[in-house]
Chains A and B, each alone.
Chain A
C-alpha cells in the first residue's frame, strides 16, 4: 500500500470530482432543456394559430429554460457531494489496490466503484421516494435512471483512468526525488 498523503492532495481530488459532477449535471440539464423546449414547441406549433404562436413559443421556451436552470443548480449542489466522494474513493482504491498503476486494473476498479455507488444511490432514492420511483414509463426510466447512470459511469471511468495517470506520474516523481 502507498501512503496517499505523499501524492496529489485529497482537497484537490475532491474539488475536481465535485467540478466534474457539476459539469455533468449542467451538460445533462442543457440536453433535457433542449428536448423539453423542442417537444413542447412542436405541440404548441400544431395547436396555435399563426398570430398567437410566437408569444407562447417564446414564453414557454424561456419558462422551461428558467425552471431547468433553477432545478439544475439545486441538483448540481447535491451532486458535488457524490462527485467529491467518488473522486476520493477512486484515489484511495487506486493507491490501495493498484500500486503499480496498471491502466486496465484502474478501469476495472473505476467500474466497480461506479457500480457500487450507483446501487447505493438508487437504494437511497428508493428509500426516499418509494412508490414514486416508477419504471413504467420510458421517459421516466430514461430521465432519472438510464441517462444519469450512463453519465455517472462514463465520468467515473474516465476520471479513474486520468487519475491513474496522475498517480503514476507522481509516484515516479516521488521515487525519483527519493533516489536523488
Chain B
C-alpha cells in the first residue's frame, strides 16, 4: 500500500517536472522570439523612432514600446473611442473579462457617450475600480491623447484609413532591479496583451461605426 501511495506521489512529482520543463520552453520562446516582436508590434522603423507628443515629459529611466495598427476609418471616428478611455468612463476596449478577473470592474462601452467626449489635461483616468488613477497630460481631439506619457497618436493615411500608434513608457526600471524584475517578468507581457487587445478593440468599434 505504501509503495502504491509513493508511486502516485512519484507521478505528481513527474507532473511538476514536466510543467517546469514546459514553462522553461515557453520562457525561452518568449524571450528569444516573442518579446522582440511585441515590443514594436505592427510599427515600422520610422514610427518607432519618430517623436510623439508627450515624449519630452518622460524620464530617461524608462524603456519604451511603440505599437501600431491600421484602422479602416477616419481619425475622427477613432478619436470618439479614445476620448472615453478609462474605467470611470467607457472602459479600455480591451479584454474586460480578463481585467475583471483582477477586480477592475470594467465595463466597455458599446456606444459613443457624448458626456465623455471632452477629455482635458488634468482629468483623472482610473485603471480599475479602487486602483490608482493616471492623469490626462495631453489631449488634442482627433490627433493625440496622452496619459502620463502613455500616448495614443492618430496619423491619417487617407480619407478612410488611419494609423493608430501607441507609445508606452515603462515604469522607472533602469534604477531599480526589483522593479525591473517585476516589469520584465510579469508587467510587460501583461501590458502587451491588454494594449494590443485595446488597439484591436478600438479598431473593431471604429470600423463598425
Contacts and interface: CB of A to CB of B under 8 A. Distances in A.
Interface of A: 16, 19-20, 22-23, 26-27, 30, 36, 39-40, 43-44, 46-48, 52, 55-56, 58-60, 62-67, 69-73, 129, 131-134, 136-137, 139-140, 143-144, 162, 165-166, 168-170
B35 to A, nearest CB: 8
Given A43-B200, A47-B200, A63-B34, A70 B186 contact: yes
Contacts of B100: 137, 139-140
Interface residues of B, number: 44
B176 interface: no
Most A CB within 10 A of own CB, among B2, B13, B15, B97 = B97
Given A40-B197, A47-B200, A19 B13 contact: yes
B9 interface: yes
A47 B205 CA distance: 10
A139 B23 contact: no
Given A40-B95, A56-B200, 7 more contacts: A19-B16, A30-B19, A62-B30, A63-B192, A70-B185, A73-B23, A170-B2
15 contacts: A19-B12, A23-B16, A39-B95, A40-B95, A40-B193, A43-B200, A48-B200, A52-B42, A55-B37, A62-B33, A63-B34, A66-B26, A67-B190, A69-B22, A139-B101
